[in-house]
Amino acid sequence: MADVQTKKNEAESRYEAYVDGDLAGEAYYELDDKRIVFTHTEVDDRFEGHGVGSALARFALDDVRATNDRRVVPRCPFIKGWIERHPEYDDLVHGAHES
């Protein structure tokens, strides 16, 4: 697994992952008052299979949890699949476990 650095780039509406200073992946989102909609995730071919996508998904969802102001709509198949494999993030999904 590569040493992945992650950050939120609000100006570009995306979360970013870097490996050795190179942009390795992005998770794009759209916001409304109550939701963050993940629309697309890309990992550069050079970094496929090195944990970049997982690091990016975990960082983005942890950031959503920390801000505690929006629910996740995982339209992106990668983010949706990642949440399915990590049920500890189910509570973030819009419509899940809401009373």
pLDDT of residue 1: 63
- Domain ranges in the chain are 4-92
What average pLDDT score do residues 40-50 get?
95
- Backbone phi, psi, residue 55, to 5°: -60, -40
71-98 per-position pLDDT tens digit: 999 999 999 999 999 999 999 999 865 5
Supply the pTM of this predicted model: 0.92
- Backbone phi, psi, residue 49, to 5°: 80, 10
Angle subtended at Cα 33 by Cα 27 and Cα 37, rounded to the nearest 5 degrees? 25
> What is the assigned CATH class of domain 4-92?
alpha beta
